[in-house]
Amino acid sequence: MRPGGGKQKGAQFERDVCKALSLWISGGEHEDVFWRSAMSGGRATVARQKGRDASSAAGDISAVRPIGAVLTNRFLIECKFYHDLNLMGLFENFLRPSPGIAAFWSILRKEAADINREPMLIAKQNRMKTCVLLTPYGSGNFPLRHYYTSHFLGARTYFFWFDDFIKKAQLPFATKEQIEYTLSRPRLRFK
């Protein structure tokens, strides 16, 4: 890969994830429900450093249609595409996460808790399928019973393959009326 190509690879990965999530949440009707956040969530970081709240711009993915807020109001979504995510780091001690996916997950959990959301890490390593990491509570937002999940790290992390998640996960608020009701409710406090 040429120098600087990693940024382009990451940006393309975020666009691909946005399209897949958009098609999933809209039942195949729209490809543009989600889009990359400004500065890949960096806008929220800059605002927080200045004492302002920009939690709606936090994370790598933002909703650009109202239906997408059903997901982004509940989850802080981060995307990572690296040559080597050190997937074996998932099996190591959570209190001292090794570099790679375990460290990304540890940081994301803290950032999500700071803005009262659940973490969702969508990650890809070269020559491997894309995966999704969720907390037990985050996973409980989707009817995924009877579906295999793996538990990693000391904080009970659920691991899914992204393609399987998109095919099998269903939003618990699928009708238009349920979505409107969900959007009108105040955000729930996550533990």
Instruction: Indicate the pLDDT class of residue 5, thresholds 50, 70 and 90.
Output: low
pLDDT of residue 92: 62
Q: What are phi and psi of 54, to 5 degrees?
A: -135, 40
Of residues 44 and 29, which shows the higher confidence score? Answer: 29
Q: How far is CA 67 from CA 2, 33, 55, 176, 184, in A?
A: 38, 7, 18, 9, 12
What's the distance, Cα to Cα, between the start and end of the chain in Å?
42
- Residue 158 near residue 139, CB atoms below 8 Å: yes
135 backbone φψ class: left, alpha, beta (φ>0; ψ -120 to 50): beta
Averaged pLDDT of the chain:
77
Q: Is-above-0.85 flag for pTM?
A: no
